A and B are shown apart, each in its own frame.
Chain A
Amino acid sequence: MAKNTESNVYTVLFATGMVVIVGALLAFLASSLKEKITENKRIEKQQNILYAMGVNENEPGSVTFVSKNIVGGEFSKYITKQLVITGTDAVEDENAYLIDLKKEEAAAKNTNYQRRLPLFIGNKDNIQYYIIPVRGKGLWDAIWGYVAIDNQLVVQGVYFDHAAETPGLGSNIKERFFMDDFKGEHFLDGDLFKGISVSKGNADPKNMDKTDFEVDAIAGSTITGDGLAAMLKKDLKLYLPYLKTLKQ
């Protein structure tokens, strides 16, 4: 075949053709699958929120959400109220869980903007849970999660997730052995806000001390752990004015 693949004209034509074909293919796929992907993300959010307040199908060592088919029903059963907090006001909004934390945080850089803070109130076995979404930076990319606390402001459960932490190291923040350590931890010392830090040094590996404001770190994931502690500090603090009204 006497095709001159060396010529400039051919090269430019080939490049143009390839870009058009690949671009069209990807755009078509992305837009036709968009609805399904958004729906999956919505379901995942509900599963994560429920997971944090202890509604899950965990077996020892596993992290298992309530299944996709029943999550909608379980969500409306256990989550009794969804609030949007702006300043000191709290209004009910049944779609508060769809608020994009990333956009809110970016918008809040403008000092005139009143940041909307979503808060979910759950009830399981007659215990009230207040579930706070958090979002921050890990080593490579975003990390986020949900922290469930009771009306004494003690952590009762967490769920963490990440976009791209190192597999086997930082990615372990979404494993049971790490998340379970947060149960029972305090982040307030009397009225003083302390946060929960992720500490190296093997000071309390069994995590017996619940009022030391720290959990045991994961080996080999210092920056992810520090990022996670910073995230908790930054976002839990935002809710403090509202949370303090609960304790009285």
Chain B
Amino acid sequence: MGLLSKKDLKLITDPLADNNPITIQVLGICSALAITAELKASIVMSVAVLFVMGLGNLTISLMRNIIPPKIRIIVQLIVVATLVIIVDLVLKAFAYELSKTLSVFVGLIITNCIIMGRFEAFALANGPIRSFIDGVGNALGYALILIIVGFFRELLGSGTLLGFKVLGDPIEKTGVYAFGYENNGFMLLAPMALITVGIIIWIQRSRNEALIEDN
């Protein structure tokens, strides 16, 4: 017997493909546009969101029977913000270098609508373990898209991957630049992130027609 039941496993695999938070539910687009100019930033953000989503979903699920429905959104916001601030403070005290890298992402995590979306749609109605798995699954789905977009934006925009010059040196004109190739600076700007996400959505829907909405 596996560690996870089939139903639980679906909580992880669904958000990776047919119920992806970015390409299908269209949540978390703002941060997907903002920080995908480099692969490294995409990865850092993905890990941070994974952590906050898992723990946040778990906390909200544990509290689900005592949260007053009238103020549930505020309660959710407080839970996310508190988690993020605690992590930020602890990192500042014990892993200062890491906290410097992450500080930019703190605001983006708190306002990430996937997190609020999963609290609302899942954690308020399900038990803690399943909520935790759901949080991790959705964060992985988010990470997948972020990393794909980050990969193409960094490769085509700067000609590098994780900072390594994989295409040669654009100034010294080595590698592909020797043949007149130029980096596409437009890839570094937010509109191209949107177009890249759009292309992913297009590919995904053309492969699975069940995803296309009726008009």
| A residues at B contact (CB < 8 Å) | 1, 3, 5-6, 10-11, 14-15, 18, 22, 25-26, 29-30, 33, 36-37, 40, 43-44, 61, 161, 163-169, 171, 205-206, 219-220
Contacts and interface: CB of A to CB of B under 8 A. Distances in A.
5 contacts: A37-B89, A166-B35, A167-B105, A168-B41, A168-B188
Nearest to A30: B89
A33 B171 contact: no
Nearest to A36: B93
Given A11-B70, A29-B86, A169-B37, A164 B92 contact: no
B68 A6 contact: yes
Secondary structure type dominating chain B contacts: helix
Nearest to A14: B68
Contacts, number: 96
A168 B38 contact: yes
B37 to A, nearest CB: 3
A167 B71 contact: no
Interface string B153-172: 01001100001000000010
Contacts of A40: 92-93, 96
Contacts of B35: 166-168
A22 B78 contact: yes
A14 B67 contact: yes
Contacts of B100: 161
B189 to A, nearest CB: 6
B84 to A, nearest CB: 11
Nearest to A26: B85
Contacts of A10: 68
Given A11-B70, A11-B71, A167-B35, A220 B103 contact: no
Contact of A26 (B70, B75, B86, B189): B86
Given A5-B67, A163-B103, A171-B104, A220 B189 contact: yes
Contacts of A29: 86, 89-90
Interface in B39-95: 40-41, 44-45, 65-71, 74-75, 78, 82, 85-86, 89-90, 92-94
A97 B128 CA distance: 49
A5 B68 contact: yes
B34 interface: yes
